[in-house]
Amino acid sequence: MAIKVSYLLFLLIAKCFGKPSREDSFPATTTEPTPTEQFGNVWKLDVQGNYWLFWKTNATHVIFETHVKTKGYVGFGLSSNGKMFPSDVVIGWVDSNGTTHFKDCHTEGHYAPIIDASQDWFLLLGKEDNFGTVLKFTRKLDTCDDNDYLITESTVKVIYSYHPDDPASFSSLSWHGAERRGAKSLMLLSSVKANEYVPPSDAEQFDMLHHNFHVPAKETTYQCRVFKVPHKPQKYHMIRYEPIISPGNEDYVHHILVYNCPTATDADNGKVFDCYGHRPRHLDCSDVVIAWAVGGVAFDFPSNAGFSFMTPGDPQYLIMETHFNNPTLKSGIIDSSGIRITATHTIRQHDAGVLQAGAIVNKLQFVPPHEKDFLSRHSCSQQCLQKALVTQQNSMKAFATILHSHLLGTSIVAHHIRGDVELEPLAQDLSYDFNYQDTRVFPKEREIKYGDSLTIDCHYDSTGRTKPTLGGLSTAEEMCLAFIYYYPKTEISNCLSSPLYDQIGSNPYHNVDTMYSWNWQNQDVKNKFQDILNKTNVYHKCSSHTHPESTHDNLSFAVSTEYIPCSGTSNYIHSTS
């Protein structure tokens, strides 16, 4: 039976979703509270530092601990869709007698939350201390209750609220106020979220930063800068990288990629250029070393792997590519953002690498308009991975990934195929949030063997578009990529594909122009396109820094590439047998 709760309470759920404030990255204005035990994860949920979340997980359960600067009630919940409902919510407080009140609730519509018939969130501790109110509670990842949120590796929106006063009962909760509620996207089961980092005693840090770059008043800018890797007398490992975003520019720095550039020289050090405009021809480098995207935080390599410098074949020069997204065409933005690298001479067991898999970034990726759930599927071929792993005895251990698409993206799945059998997905996010593209660490390493293949599925909601959306560099265009961190490092850095739509003609770019002009409100046109997509031949790109190939749009498919014709969706992904 629904309990009566003040209408304004629901502003917690109705208004707290959406794009995180750019102030979310600002330093805490209060000291981090001390949890009741050691947790692997901690996050400051609000700008002021009034609401802190600690959590840890195992194979079956999660334990949360909230520290909130209030002596009143505390609200906490989980949601996947960013709307008022459905969401899984708990409310609790400690009264003047020291008694803790705590209920497991859910919402179904624009009305009061309902107390769950099955109380699956269990209170472990409730108290008030010098900081405020502490609530510690646990639940199963999967409670088998339709009213509870299923906790998976996908992104979840954590919602929160609090009030300065205790209510008399659950039926008399007062409005928390506009400034005492919010939301944060988190991956509860993947990477560790720590606000404080203490580097090893022998660690050295160096920064790759822009220097007062004047961001143009245009929607999309890709700015590149060349850096020489610090020279040391012996090998060292990068063990951590973190974004350094200029305060106030969090809304404009969309992503940062760092590439190995073996063709650069000392004369190029410090050179700045438009990455995809007036780029020096000899600096066309695509071997990814670091990938960071909007919403992401620092990434720590596992204890047995690091990215190697100062041995033969290691990067000597790096190119930092920064994508500035400025849809309002604001002028006067000055940016000095970049990446901070932490390195150590305490060499780890394995040299790590990054494999970029998914769609080649060009307009051959085609998303029709008016589609609620359009699937764009791209492959990392078996033949390419065989080149990377060389023999049946070789394999790579994947330990983390960044899944990346743009504004239309709703979910991304990295499928893992071995022979005719599809294994457990390498990674998936069924609640993809464009504004939260953090690195997800796998719960356990995944072995990719000689003969395996990968398929990257991106699902898009294009119901808000009246014309097709093509693949491209701007945020309004689309991408479908997985940056996979693994060890030991191989020669292959790019394993990508594009459909050719060759049932229409021999020139795939002309084919896209033809399809773009079709009437996409006509169901026959949609059916025709799906048939073309199912039967098209596919161009596969398999490259490394030792065998570079151009990533610009052109028809030189046979140059340093692998062309593998395939027809039908069965060649993209094998069904489980």
The string of pLDDT tens digits covering residues 439-456 is 999 989 999 999 999 999
Domain tally for the chain? 3
Q: Using the predicted structure, report yes or no on whether residue 461 has a pLDDT greater than 60.
A: yes
The string of pLDDT tens digits covering residues 238-266 is 999 999 999 999 999 999 999 999 999 99
Q: Could you tell me which residues come within 8 angstroms of residue 496 by beta carbon, excluding any fewer than 6 positions away?
A: 356, 357, 358, 359, 360, 378, 380, 540, 541
In a domain, 566, yes or no: no
Q: Both 342 and 364 in a single domain?
A: no
**Residue 507, number of CB atoms within 10 A of its CB:** 14
In a domain, 25, yes or no: no
Q: Both 48 and 119 in a single domain?
A: yes
Amino acid at 28: A
In a domain, 63, yes or no: yes
pLDDT bucket at 277, cuts 50 / 70 / 90: confident
In a domain, 570, yes or no: no
Give the pLDDT of residue 1.
38
Distances (CA, A) of 340 to 199, 226, 300, 551: 12, 15, 12, 27
Nearest-angstrom CA–CA distance, 333 and 289: 27
**Residue 463, number of CB atoms within 10 A of its CB:** 12
Query: Which residues constitute the domain of residue 204?
Result: 197-348
- Nearest by Cα to 86 from 48, 116, 49, 120: 116
Q: What is the DSSP letter of 462?
A: -
Q: Both 332 and 386 in a single domain?
A: no
Q: Both 159 and 244 in a single domain?
A: no
The string of pLDDT tens digits covering residues 212-239 is 999 999 999 999 999 999 999 999 999 9
pTM: 0.84
Q: Both 180 and 280 in a single domain?
A: no
In a domain, 289, yes or no: yes
Q: Both 145 and 92 in a single domain?
A: yes
Query: Which of 149, 166, 186 corresponds to the end of one domain?
Result: 186
CATH number at residue 538: 2.60.120.230
In a domain, 34, yes or no: no
In a domain, 480, yes or no: yes
Give the pLDDT of residue 84.
61
Query: Which of 186, 207, 228 corresponds to the end of one domain?
Result: 186
Q: Both 265 and 298 in a single domain?
A: yes
Q: Both 227 and 325 in a single domain?
A: yes
Q: Both 514 and 555 in a single domain?
A: yes
CATH number at residue 153: 2.60.40.1210
Nearest-angstrom CA–CA distance, 11 and 9: 5
pLDDT bucket at 87, cuts 50 / 70 / 90: confident
CATH number at residue 225: 2.60.120.310
In a domain, 291, yes or no: yes
Residues carrying an active site annotation: 222, 404
Distances (CA, A) of 29 to 25, 46, 182: 12, 10, 17
Query: Which of 332, 348, 364 corresponds to the end of one domain?
Result: 348
Q: Both 342 and 354 in a single domain?
A: no
Q: Both 87 and 114 in a single domain?
A: yes
Q: Both 338 and 281 in a single domain?
A: yes
